[in-house]
């Protein structure tokens, strides 16, 4: 497990203890298909979220008060007597949460690191989904490791998932040497292998290195599962201050960039805006809900606001 200290700044590192404290605020959230009017999951997205599936139970004679939409017209025509199909709701539903903890996420200019916002949002979702009675698992990935935890219906499994997020988050540091970045498609391929059908898949990432293959993987998963995207951004990624000087590094070499020179600021801003626009564009093409998160605010009120809950702006 990643080394823990007593003086961690929760805006920079979210350890297991910090994430466990989110279980309380998580109770007020809802990721079910029926949403408040102000929720981003309401309206055209609500029908796209299937919720738990239904299991066929039996055929029986129609009784007064039955929903006419449940009538099995083929059996009714064959027998001459109205029959209805009876279904029961699945007892639980597997949920897979993908949590990006690569070095590209170890950045923040105002409040949180992107890695912290993603860790907190994923943990909040995990606690709430487990409280609904559904199975929870996930894929927590850094630049070196893809940790797979298959969905299970137990508090022990939930705690193991939260610990994996905290360990990956606390392992991030400014002097960490990354020889090769983890391609985003690798954990997505793992998710597609695990979640074949009927799953809820939540992806928390800045979508760095997303490409055409990424879109195809997301589309493929969305065809048989419910997929929700949580792109995490920092305000400077949409507009960099004109007088900003930044130091960039690949873990071994570093360079001091003066953004007042030439069109550097615009080129960097255009690149990051395009990355976010790409993930949002998938929402329209494949009817995938997108709930954008920013590092400039606390995570809990952001999620409350996105889900249309009262007090979201606090």
Q: What is the pLDDT at residue 310?
A: 63
pLDDT band at 34; cut points 50, 70, 90: very low
Work out the average pLDDT over 88-105.
85
Q: What is the pLDDT at residue 209?
A: 87
CB half-sphere exposure, 178, CA atoms < 13 A: 20
Q: What is the pLDDT at residue 88?
A: 59
Residues of the chain above pLDDT 90, percent:
52
Q: What is the pLDDT at residue 41?
A: 52
pLDDT band at 125; cut points 50, 70, 90: very high
Q: What is the pLDDT at residue 53?
A: 56
pLDDT band at 136; cut points 50, 70, 90: very high
Name the DSSP class of 126.
Answer: H
At 129, phi and psi to the nearest 5? -65, -40
Q: What is the pLDDT at residue 285?
A: 84
Q: What is the pLDDT at residue 219?
A: 93
Q: What is the pLDDT at residue 306?
A: 86
Q: What is the pLDDT at residue 265?
A: 52
Longest CA span, the chain: 82
Q: What is the pLDDT at residue 90?
A: 58
Tell me if 94 sits within 8 A of 137, measured CB to CB. yes
Residues of the chain above pLDDT 70, percent:
74
pLDDT band at 146; cut points 50, 70, 90: very high
The mean predicted confidence, pLDDT, of the chain is 81
pLDDT band at 301; cut points 50, 70, 90: very high
Spell out the domains of the chain, with CATH numbers in brackets.
Answer: 16-46+93-306 (3.40.50.410), 54-89 (no CATH)
Q: What is the pLDDT at residue 85?
A: 86
Alpha helices, H only, the chain: 16-20, 23-26, 73-79, 114-131, 155-170, 185-194, 212-224, 264-286, 299-306
Q: What is the pLDDT at residue 243?
A: 53
Is residue 46 pLDDT above 50, yes or no?
no
Q: Which of 38-47, 169-178, 221-230, 261-270 has the lowest mean pLDDT?
A: 38-47
Work out the average pLDDT over 158-187.
93
Which distant-in-sequence residues (6+ apart) come within 8 Å of 110 by Cβ?
234, 235, 295, 296
Distance CA 77, CA 54 (A): 24
Other Cβ atoms within 10 Å of 283 Cβ, number: 18
Work out the average pLDDT over 112-140.
95
């Amino acid at each position: 497990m990643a080394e823990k200290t007593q003086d961690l700044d929760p805006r920079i590192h979210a350890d297991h203890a910090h994430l466990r404290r989110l279980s309380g605020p998580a109770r007020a959230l809802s990721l079910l298909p029926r949403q408040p009017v102000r929720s981003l999951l309401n309206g055209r997205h609500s029908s796209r979220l299937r919720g738990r599936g239904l299991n066929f139970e039996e055929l029986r004679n129609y009784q007064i008060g039955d929903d006419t939409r449940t009538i099995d017209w083929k059996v009714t025509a064959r027998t001459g007597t109205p029959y209805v199909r009876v279904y029961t709701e699945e007892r639980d539903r597997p949920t897979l949460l993908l949590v990006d903890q690569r070095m590209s996420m170890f950045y923040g200019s105002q409040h949180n690191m992107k890695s912290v916002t993603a860790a907190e949002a994923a943990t909040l979702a995990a606690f709430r989904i487990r409280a609904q009675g559904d199975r929870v698992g996930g894929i927590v990935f850094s630049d070196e490791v893809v940790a797979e935890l298959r969905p299970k219906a137990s508090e022990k499994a939930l705690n193991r998932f939260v610990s994996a997020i905290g360990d990956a988050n606390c392992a991030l540091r400014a002097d960490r040497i990354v020889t090769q970045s983890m391609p985003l498609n690798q954990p997505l391929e793992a998710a597609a292998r695990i979640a074949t059908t009927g799953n809820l898949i939540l992806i928390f990432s800045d979508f760095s290195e997303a490409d055409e293959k990424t879109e195809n993987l997301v589309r493929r998963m969305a065809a048989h599962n419910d997929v929700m995207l949580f792109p995490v951004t920092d305000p400077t990624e949409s507009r960099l201050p004109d007088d900003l000087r930044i130091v960039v590094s690949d873990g071994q070499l570093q360079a001091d960039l003066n953004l007042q020179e030439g069109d550097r600021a615009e080129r960097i801003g255009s690149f990051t805006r395009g990355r976010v626009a790409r993930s949002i564009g998938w929402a329209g093409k494949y009817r995938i809900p997108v709930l954008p998160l920013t590092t400039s605010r606390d995570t809990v009120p952001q999620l409350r606001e996105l889900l249309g809950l009262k007090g979201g702006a606090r």
